[in-house]
Amino acid sequence: MQKKRSRKVIDYDIEWMGEDDIYPSERIIFDGKGHSCTIQTEWLYDAMLRLDDKYKSVLILKYWYGFLQKEIAEMLHVSRRTITSWNLLLRENIAAYAES
């Protein structure tokens, strides 16, 4: 007679199988608006953790999702000029972190 597996073990197996493979060197960043990206370099991950959510949103939507500034402005309900400004500021913040 085969021994029954406990419900906890089965739930764990289902949860584990549903996850994407993430290597130890990869980190996930969320922008607070439902968007995420996987970062493979530790310094960029640390730099992005220091960004405001609005800057993270621009960074993720532009570089990971490939949206244009006009599209990002519409999604975040701000002007294109605001997105341009946020993009410059986030680059400055990341550059400053890289230099420190």
First-to-last alpha carbon distance for the chain, in angstroms, is 64
Residues linked to residue 39 through DSSP beta bridges, in sequence order: 27
Residues 26-99, CATH architecture? Orthogonal Bundle (1.10)
User: By CB neighbour count within 10 A (0-12 exposed, 13-18 middle, 19+ buried), where does 100 fall?
Assistant: exposed
Give dist(CA 17, CA 4) in Å, integer: 20
Give the pLDDT of the chain (100 residues) as one tens digit per residue.
444 544 454 444 444 444 455 555 577 878 778 888 888 778 888 888 899 999 999 989 998 889 999 999 999 999 999 999 999 898 888 888 888 7
Predicted local distance difference test score (pLDDT) of residue 2: 47
Q: Tell me the DSSP string of 25-82.
A: T-EEEE-SSS-EEEE--HHHHHHHHTS-HHHHHHHIIIIIS---HHHHHHHHTS-HHH
The DSSP call for residue 100 is: -
Predicted local distance difference test score (pLDDT) of residue 25: 59
Look up the pTM and report it: 0.68
